[in-house]
Amino acid sequence: MSATVPDQSPWSTRQIGQWSVLTGVGVALMSVAWNAASRELRFADMLGWLELSLAGLLLTGLANVGWYLGARRAVVRLRSALMANVAPAPVAAVTEAGSLPVSADPMRRYHRPGCQLVLGRAVNAESRDAHEAAGRVPCGMCRP
């Protein structure tokens, strides 16, 4: 059984058009304001143009936030569709009872001896208390 994968584009043609128009208008407002403010000699006369420029900046910012949120929603939909039929990964095999967690000096986390993140590395086995005293936290993958 296969999952239905949504369309690859995170944005519809309508959303792309809206983003283009809002961004274009915002950039035009900032350009007009900059050009007009550059002709003024007194700062007080520039304030109106500054407000227009800030309105343009706000408009382009809102357009880009909408653009980002649209992409984020598409990623969530795609991930949900892809993960619909995937079984959860098995928890790392538990090593023999009573084995001590392992880590090495540069590591910030301690692990089970069979954790994929420490296989093939030179590690030292110590008690949990010793690891925590060294400032290490448990691995989020093997959860020792």
Model confidence pLDDT, tens digit, residues 40-60:
999 999 999 999 999 999 999
The Cα-based distances of 143 to 35, 70, 105, 111, 135 in angstroms read: 60, 35, 19, 7, 16
In-domain check, residue 1? no
Same domain, 57 and 104: no
Chosen domain end from 49, 67, 83: 83
Same domain, 129 and 101: yes
If one counts the domains in the chain, the total is 2
CA distance 118 to 143: 13
Domain holding 36, by residue range, is 13-83
Q: Which of 88, 92, 83, 89 is nearest to 115 (CA)?
A: 92
Q: Which residues contact 70 (CB under 8 A, 6 or more apart)?
A: 10, 11, 15
* pLDDT score, position 1: 43
pTM score, two decimals?
A: 0.52
* pLDDT confidence bin for 97, thresholds 50/70/90: very low
Same domain, 61 and 105: no
Same domain, 24 and 51: yes
* pLDDT score, position 96: 45
In-domain check, residue 33? yes
* pLDDT score, position 113: 86
CB 112 within 8 A of CB 92: yes
